[in-house]
Amino acid sequence: MRMDPHPYAVREIVAQVFESYDVEVHSLSDLDETILIDYGRYSARSYKVDGYMAMWLVEIGVLQFYDEEGNMLQTVNLCDELEPHRMAA
């Protein structure tokens, strides 16, 4: 069974990376978040602030970051960044 990272943890990474590009994120609620459902399956989340965007591709576990012009800035592998959640038996 695949275990996706918790969305709150992903939001924190998004905010940290945006701030490394001098994009101000005062709180996680500053992120305009959208969930993509494709044919009934949860497939992605996007986060926008000040023209910058991050896309969490849930199936492959990566975050891709884009500037105001749509140029890709960086990719973060969430499998490397976050420990998976453990499920109770």
Per-residue pLDDT of the chain (89 residues), as tens digits, is 456 788 999 999 999 999 999 999 998 888 999 999 999 999 999 999 999 999 999 999 999 999 999 999 999 999 876 655 444 44
Q: Whole-angstrom Cα distance, residue 33 to residue 8?
A: 11
Predicted local confidence at residue 12, as pLDDT: 94
Length of the chain in terms of residues written: 89
Residue 27 structure tokens: 């709180």
The C-alpha R_g of the chain, in whole angstroms, comes to 13
User: pTM for the full model?
Assistant: 0.83
